[in-house]
Structure 1
Amino acid sequence: MTERQFSVVICVYTEDRWEDILAAVSSVRTQSLPALETLLVVDHNERLLERLRAEFTAPAEKVRVLANAGPRGLSAGRNTGIAAARGEFVAFLDDDAVAERDWLRHFAAGYDDPRVMAVGGRTMPAWASGRRPAWFPEEFDWVVGCTYRGLPPGRVVVRNVLGGNASFRTSAFDAAGGFATGIGRDGDKRPLGCEETELCIRLSRALPDAVLLIDDRAVIHHRVPAARERFGYFRTRAYAEGLSKALVARSVGTGKGLESERRYTTRVLPAGVVRGVRDAVLGRPGGAGRAGAIVTGVAVAAGGYLLGTVRARRGAASFQVAPIERVPDEENTGKRSTGEDEAA
């Protein structure tokens, strides 16, 4: 049987992460299932674009450096990578993360079932301080882009994968279109998210028999800088998540848009508060802080959701979805169309 071929897309935007970018690429090079190619998509940063093109010149490296062909932001960058990808599958890796050696192999195993359209993995935090802050609840690890307490273990069916550690059949984008622009991170605004949630719900609607999985053996380690270990960032990110969830719910309806969140809010988080209070009573460090952080996180996320809902109803917040337009290999210069201009 021919091994499955993956194009790995890493979206980058700043030279401040130069060493992280090199480490991410290196982790792809050492996969037990070799990637067909690594696509570095640079988000409107000419200096970084030229520096990376000078760094990766040898064809044997199987690294292509592309310019984001759409508007600034992570979604358009990913769409640029999808449009240029030559593999049957596209995997996404954050630019400040490294993948374990069998990352792609575990992704590949999930596609034995032809109904499977996406496979995600487990993202572990690598704290800049060397360990988790005592007050930081595992239930909120999504704040720093990592797998959080409450997700089921093993290989399980899910509503959506998490974008920084995920793979899709390339044909999934033909059916559902690419990542929506106007949602998710764009480098200048609040740290929004949920673009992968919206895409996965849209994919399940386009292909009702589609199966989406998370396999927690497909592990990456995501660097958490010191600035994101602070409570101020925790509040800001939770608030931005509420804004993002309102956009998703406006697009796909509250039924699907908040399906997973209801269980998380009514079961996972209350259990986390109880654990924190119990630890505080037993004199264990950080227990009261974790309980308080969960309550605060819920409150600010709810506030963001309410404001985002009002804005969405007024038409002040919107996003666009466009089909992915494949490009021939000889045109892979990074100046191709991914459809956003036509949709804007």
Structure 2
Amino acid sequence: MSDPGTPGVSVVICAYTEDRWEDVLAAVASVRAQSRPALETLLVVDHNRDLLERLGKEYEEADDVRVLANTGPRGLSAGRNTGIAASRGEVVAFLDDDAVAERDWLKHFAEAYDDPRVMAVGGRTEPAWASGRRPAWFPEEFDWVVGCAYRGLPRGRVRVRNVLGGNASFRREAFDAAGGFATGIGRDGDERPLGGEETELCIRLGRARPDAVLLIDDRAVIHHRVPEVREHFRYFRTRTYAEGLSKALVARSVGAKKGLESERRYTTRVLPAGVARGLRDALLARPGGAGRAGAIVAGVLTAAGGYLVGSVRARRGGVTFSVAVVAEAGRD
């Protein structure tokens, strides 16, 4: 039951592999344990019949969980659009399938929507390292590589250009105004870990609704599992390159000025400070200092390389994307 005066929130969790079975169950359990209950949880399965059937059996007697098949093309964007279309809440929240939300996660989201101008609210995602602690060489400035909040993001409840998709919510009116997540941007089942679909949507939303307010509230916390394979430099390099490719698609969709606005500040202010911090730690013989400084430089160069390649491909017409219309689907 929703609190009086606050919107009903539907939670969408997109799943694609049985390898994350226990993670998915934990994600659903964390939604069920919220201090401010969700209206419903929608589990959207991305073109995996075995997982769809297994989750269907797991929750067949649950009145608060629905298991759905992705009705669009393979990928996270289409899965989220399927969830939006089937949801009943005034607000739709998204939680990664390998993350668990803290007890007041939805409470903090819902409270922000007391302001009718607020169209999206994101939260803070903390890494849960498989090894038990952050690798010494891994810079906090690049925690976005593993889907988490990174050094340089503003603290508190503040206005932002875009929210981060694995821990985010949108008022349904946002999809009425801007459409859904663009397919062709972000993860689509390929091995390359693309992203950027939530950034593109948020920029589109800002253009469609110039009065829209988008917030991050760092009290809305989730904990995102980082598997051991993602703790290595090889994945770091692959992910930063893929981010460059993704940013090229975002820039193609919404223009480089807006599409790279936050990234310019991040690259010119946050990252140089990170390099200086790493070098200082190296001089003080602190573990990992030189590695962090080197990783920041390598990450910038690799992302820049991906952006250049992605820009050339986009100009040649080698990539396409489309925006789904989901505004009226699934309403009672």
Instruction: Report the TM-score range of the alignment, normalised by the length of the smaller protein.
Output: over 0.9
CA distance in 1, matches of 2:266, 2:112: 25
2:70 equivalent to 1:44 = no
2:16 equivalent to 1:13 = yes
CA distance in 1, matches of 2:59, 2:331: 17
CA-atom RMSD in angstroms: 1.0
Pick the aligned partner of 1:150 from 141, 149, 152. 152
CA distance in 2, matches of 1:94, 1:304: 25
CA distance in 2, matches of 1:288, 1:191: 26
Secondary structure, counterpart of 1:175 in structure 2: helix
Aligned residues: 329
Pick the aligned partner of 1:55 from 55, 58, 82. 58
CA deviation map 1:296-320 (0-9, x unaligned): 0000000000111111111111211
**What is the CA distance between 1:188 and its match in structure 2?**
1.6
Identity of aligned residues (%): 80
Say whether the 8 Å CA contact 2:172–2:327 is kept in structure 1.
Answer: no
| Code of the aligned partner of 1:54 | K
1:338 alignment counterpart: none
CA distance in 2, matches of 1:13, 1:246: 26
CA deviation map 1:47-105 (0-9, x unaligned): 00000000001243x00000000000000000000000000000000000000000000
Say whether the 8 Å CA contact 2:282–2:290 is kept in structure 1.
Answer: yes
TM-score scaled by structure 1?
Answer: 0.94
2:319 equivalent to 1:310 = no
**What is the CA distance between 1:250 and its match in structure 2?**
1.0
2:31 alignment counterpart: 28
**What is the CA distance between 1:325 and its match in structure 2?**
5.3
2:286 alignment counterpart: 284
Secondary structure, counterpart of 1:242 in structure 2: helix
TM-score scaled by structure 2?
Answer: 0.98
Matched ranges for 1:158-197 at <5 A: 158-197=160-199
CA distance in 2, matches of 1:327, 1:205: 23
2:69 equivalent to 1:67 = yes
Pick the aligned partner of 1:99 from 98, 101, 113. 101
CA distance in 2, matches of 1:163, 1:268: 22
1:267 alignment counterpart: 269
Tell me which moved more, 216-225 or 104-113.
Answer: 104-113
CA deviation map 1:89-138 (0-9, x unaligned): 00000000000000000001111111000000000000000000000000
CA deviation map 1:246-293 (0-9, x unaligned): 011111111100000000000000000000000000000000000000
Secondary structure, counterpart of 2:264 in structure 1: helix
1:204 alignment counterpart: 206
Say whether the 8 Å CA contact 2:88–2:330 is kept in structure 1.
Answer: no
Matched ranges for 1:180-259 at <5 A: 180-259=182-261
| Code of the aligned partner of 1:72 | R
CA distance in 2, matches of 1:12, 1:250: 28
Say whether the 8 Å CA contact 2:196–2:243 is kept in structure 1.
Answer: yes
1:126 alignment counterpart: 128
Say whether the 8 Å CA contact 1:84–1:326 is kept in structure 2.
Answer: no
CA distance in 2, matches of 1:216, 1:328: 31
Say whether the 8 Å CA contact 1:10–1:40 is kept in structure 2.
Answer: yes
CA deviation map 1:195-243 (0-9, x unaligned): 0000000000000100000000000000000000010000000000000
5+ residue gaps, structure 1: 331-344
Moved beyond 6 Å, runs of 4+: none
1:138 alignment counterpart: 140
| Code of the aligned partner of 2:36 | L
Secondary structure, counterpart of 2:148 in structure 1: coil
Say whether the 8 Å CA contact 1:178–1:321 is kept in structure 2.
Answer: yes
| Code of the aligned partner of 1:253 | G
Secondary structure, counterpart of 1:17 in structure 2: helix
CA distance in 2, matches of 1:320, 1:3: 33
Secondary structure, counterpart of 2:286 in structure 1: coil
CA distance in 2, matches of 1:181, 1:109: 30
